[in-house]
Structures are given as C-alpha cells and as structure tokens.
Amino acid sequence: MRLIHSPAVRIGLSIAFATGLYGLSFGALGVAAGLDAWQVVALSMLMFTGGSQFAFIGVLAGGGSGSAAFGAATLLGVRNAVYGMQINRMLRPRGWRRWVAAQVTIDESAATAAGQVEPDEQRRGFWTAGLGVYVLWSLFTAAGALLGDALGDPRRWGLDGAAVAAFLALLWPRLSAREPVALAVACALATVLAVPWAPPGVPILVAALVAALWGWFGHGPADEGLEPDIDPAEHAGAGPRVLPAEDPR
C-alpha cells in the first residue's frame, strides 16, 4: 500500500506511460527508414535511449551509412554516462542491480530520481520510471513497427508532444527559485538558437553544455530553493542539523 501512495511511483508511472506511448512513433519511423520490425524492436531493447535511436534512424532515412548512424547515436548517448555517474552516487546499486540500473539509466529515470528528496523515494522513482519506460517503450515500439504505415504520420496523434509534456511535468515544480528559472531559460534559448544550424539531436547537447558551464562557473550553492546541500528536515520544521559527510567511495 505504501508504494501506491508514493509520489515517486506515481510520477514514474505517468512518465513511463507518456514516454512509452511515443514508442509507437519510433516503431513506425524505424520501419519507414528501411529496418525490419525485429531490427526496430531490437534497437529499442538494446540501445534504449530515445534520442540516440531517433538519430540512428534519421541518418539512415536520410541516406547515411550505418557507421554514420551509429556515430550520431553514440554522440547523443554520451549524456547517459553522465546520468550514470549521478545515479551511481545517488542510489549506489550493488551486484546485478548495477547492470540493470545501467540499462535503464535514461533521461526519464534520472530526472524522476533527482526530483525526489528522500533516498527511498529516489530509489522508487528511478526504478519505476526506468523499468516502466523500458517495458512500455519496447512494447509500443513493436506495435508501431508492426502497424507501420497504418498509423500514418505519428504527429497526427500528438505522440511527439507526450514526452515533452512529461518532462515539463517534472521540470515545473523545480522552478521555484530564480536560479533554476534562469538556467532553464538559458538552456531553452540555446536550444532554439541551435536548431536551425545544428543537426537533429545536437541542440540538446548544446543545452547540456550551457548547463554544465553554468554549474562550473557558478558561485557555489544557491541561497534560495531546496538545494541538495540543505537539510529537508530544516524546512519541515524539525530544526537544523548537520548533514553527514559524503561517502568518498
């Protein structure tokens, strides 16, 4: 019953459904790009990172070679390595869970975990979103690949907006202070300016670079909003306390 009332689980399930549904679009577009249905499904289950997958089939559809498609997909997949370091530090999975966590570490699972304060909620959010997206994305990819042209243009169904809406739902509650709002605006502006000039998928990397530079040249922790270095118990009325030192492992 506790899991039913968990905010992280509810968020993770909603993100999983919204993102998984977009797999219909990828399945249809993958077949249209010249891949067989089983190849499209295998791509979702093994590569499992939406931006890289769309870049891969985008290059193929444009007449590019397999090596060029793989290179574009790899470039976009680099961000998952950054997420992986964050998740490893946040959840510290052990044993076989490390291998599973590596496979399901994507934008959605990392964002759902990072959006929580309590360690247990971070863990629930990560696994709910990660495994949920993996299962639903694979299933809807298969459906899209099998239906193929019967779906028509996937944008007619609004599937291209489902994942965007899901990310906005995650982002909006975190824009409660001036610095996150300024960072979001700066990244959005960088993306919009890069879209006309950069290949598909690259603008999001430009936004990530802006965010990284912002953090690198920042002036330390913000003094407003609920930042990671502030004890949530203090904001809940439990009084200030000293947080334990970070495990250096």
Q: Kindly report which listed range (13-17, 34-38, 167-171) carries the lowest average pLDDT score.
A: 167-171
Lowest mean pLDDT among 35-44, 90-99, 240-249: 240-249
Q: What is the mean pLDDT of the chain?
A: 75
Lowest mean pLDDT segment, chosen from 42-46, 101-105, 142-146, 188-192: 188-192
Which pLDDT band holds residue 111 (cuts at 50, 70, 90)? confident
For the chain, the three-class secondary structure string (H helix, E strand, C coil) is CCCCCCHHHHHHHHHHHHHHHCHHHHHHHHHHCCCCHHHHHHHHHHCCCHHHHHHHHHHHHCCCCHHHHHHHHHHHHHHHHHHHHHHHHHHCCCCHHHHHHHHCCCHHHHHHHHCCCCHHHHHHHHHHHHHHHHHHHHHHHHHHHHHHHHHCCHHHHCHHHHHHHHHHHHHHHHCCCHHHHHHHHHHHHHHHHHCCCCCCCHHHHHHHHHHHHHHHCCCCCCCCCCCCCCCHHHHCCCCCCCCCCCCCC
Give me the pLDDT at residue 200, please. Answer: 59
pLDDT of residue 246: 46
Query: What is the arithmetic mean of pLDDT over 187-215?
Result: 76
Could you state, in order of their start, the residue ranges of all structural domains in the chain? 7-174, 177-238
Read off the pLDDT of residues 115-145 as tens digits, 9 standing for 90 and up.
Answer: 888 888 899 999 999 999 999 999 999 998 8
Taking only the tens place, the pLDDT of each residue in 66-75 is: 777 777 777 7
The pLDDT of residue 151 is 62
What's the rounded mean pLDDT across residues 18-35?
84
Q: Residue 177: what pLDDT? A: 73
Pick the closest to residue 69 from 199, 232, 197, 211 (CA basis).
199
Does the global pTM surpass 0.75? Answer: no
pLDDT tens-place string over residues 43-58? 999 998 877 888 788 7
